[in-house]
Structure 1
Amino acid sequence: MERTFLLLAAFIFSSGQCQDTDPSRDPDASLAVCKPDIRALGVHSAQILELQRLIQEQAQQLMALKESTLAAVPRMAFTAALGHSLGPVHIDLTVKYPLIISNIGNGYNPATGIFTARVSGMYYFRYTMFNNLGSRSNSVMSLMKNSQRMVSTWDTSGSDDNDTATNAAVLQLEEGDNVYTRLYANRQIYDDGANYNTFSGFLLFPL
């Protein structure tokens, strides 16, 4: 890059010769008149070609650096939906969301309902919970990290027929940590194929 600047400077400052006009001899001339140095044109052409070559070379280097940087940054993001009603369940249950909307990095496993961190970092997770049981509302869920409860949603009574809740958390995960949602014993959630119940997450940045 420094070499490019030096060549450009050399081209600019050697591109011609300037002569100051003496106003006493030529009253109409008040500015310097610059005349190109014809002998230097061949040198300047070579400098231009060299500048063009260096610029093209640096552009290729920047592109390669950009591609290598993008390849080095892990990409993990997913959204999955339940698509059907679940419960009442007899025991605390990991919810399996079988409908994959996106799963970049394949961190989410629809067979288990569990997201597994492929790289240590800060992650964002969000889930929704829905029921339409009115006064019989009986839905309680939590977002779990390994076996630890992070955040929860609760709806066990109400006068309306439709209730929805959502919660989210930013979690620091080590490689191999698991994140999932839990529906508690004797609770239930409702879905009719409109994907009211979803589970999402993505990597904010690696650590």
Structure 2
Amino acid sequence: MKNIAVLILVFGCCVCQRPPHGNDDTLSLTSINQKVADNAAKITLLEAKLLNAEREVLELRSLTAGKPQVAFSAALMKSGRGNVGPFNTDTALKYNKVFSNTGNGYNPSTGIFTAHVSGTYFFRFSMFNNLSPTPNSVVSIMKNNERLVSVWDTSGTDSNDMGSNAVVIPLEEGDGVYVQLLATRVIYDDEWKYNTFTGFLLFAA
């Protein structure tokens, strides 16, 4: 009986001295619940941002009616003044003062507008000269290698003349449009920006 009593006492002491594992489990579960709540809050915030982004996209689409936006306008000289030309060959004019270039179709390094969207476009250019005593001015809008419309002026009693022309044409993706100065001819420009080249998409094909 004494041995049984001793064993019961020892077992009871061991049970009393066990570490409180239940408390650790409770703390661990609380930590997990907190992390889940934090992640849920982050997901809710992300969802709200996505909804706002979707709403902004829808608003932009409603303003543009989902249509591609293409437009540019540029003047011949950024600064300075003087004649451009004469050249030995027909030469594409490089309009370096870019006012706008929505759609990035116009390249000031070449003077060429390249259609990235097939459709019907409007183009216009203006020409100014200071002919006395320089040669005639002949300037044309070109589609690829095709001459479309032109402005021509010759020296006379007056020293300054100005003209403009415009055209509405269909373009396929990849077509190029530019303003060409004929060989041996000149135009004049200064800080007043007389010579300009403008174009925009009327409607896509």
TM-score, length basis structure 1: 0.66
Aligned to 1:119, the other structure's residue is in SS state coil
Deviation at 1:136, TM superposition (A): 4.4
Partners of 2:129 and 2:61 lie apart in 1 by 47
Query: What SS is found at the alignment partner of 1:172?
Result: strand
Q: What pairs with 1:103-142 in structure 2 (closer than 5 Å)?
A: 103-134=101-132, 136=134, 138-142=136-140
Q: Which residue of 2 aligns with 1:171?
A: 169
Q: Give the secondary-structure state (helix, strand or coil) at the position aligned to 1:186.
A: coil
The alpha carbon displacement at 1:133 in A equals: 1.7
Aligned-residue offset at 1:134: 3.9
1:74 alignment partner, one of 44, 68, 72? 68
Q: Does 1:92 align with 2:90?
A: yes
Separation in 2, partners of 1:137, 1:91: 14
Report the count of equivalent residues. 147
Q: 1:139 to 1:64 in 2, by over 3 A?
A: closer
> Does structure 2 conserve the Cα–Cα contact (< 8 Å) formed by 1:131 and 1:190?
yes
| 1:190 has 2:188 as partner | yes
> More deviation in 177-186 or 150-159?
150-159
What is the one-letter code of the residue matched to 2:61? S
Q: Distance in 1 between matches of 2:86 and 2:60?
A: 50
Residue 72 of structure 1, CA deviation? 2.7
Q: Distance in 1 between matches of 2:158 and 2:135?
A: 9
**Deviation of the 1:157 alpha carbon:** 2.7
Quick one: higher RCO (CA 8 Å, sep 6+), 1 or 2?
A: 2
Q: Please, which runs of 5 or more residues in structure 1 have no aligned partner? A: 1-61
User: What letter corresponds to residue 179 of structure 1 in structure 2?
Assistant: V
Question: Match of 1:68, SS?
Answer: helix
Contact 2:116 2:174 in 1 (8 A): yes
CA displacement at 1:137 relative to structure 2:
5.0
Note the alpha carbon deviations across 1:44-90, whole angstroms, 9 max, x for none. xxxxxxxxxxxxxxxxxx99765435373100111111124301111
Which segments of structure 1 move beyond 2 Å, counting only runs of 4 or more? Answer: 62-72, 134-137
Q: How does 1:1-150 map to 2 (within 5 A)?
A: 67-69=60-62, 70=64, 72-83=66-77, 84=81, 85-134=83-132, 136=134, 138-150=136-148
- Alpha-carbon separation, structure 2, partners of 1:157 and 1:112: 29
Distance 1:67 1:196 in 2: 35
Q: Which structure: larger Rg?
A: 2
Does the CA-based 8 Å contact 1:131-1:137 persist in structure 2? no
Give the counterpart letter for 1:186 in structure 2. Answer: T
Q: TM-score, normalised by structure 2?
A: 0.66
What percent identity do the matched residue pairs reach? 56
Which residue identity does 1:147 align to in structure 2? N
Structure 1: distance between partners of 2:194 and 2:173: 30
For the Cα contact (< 8 Å) 1:143–1:182, is it kept in 2? Answer: yes
**Counterpart residue type for residue 152 of structure 2:** W
Distance in 1 (alpha carbons) for counterparts of 2:154 and 2:125 = 18
Larger proportion of helix: 2
- Root mean square deviation of aligned Cα: 2.1
Q: Distance in 2 between matches of 1:180 and 1:64?
A: 34
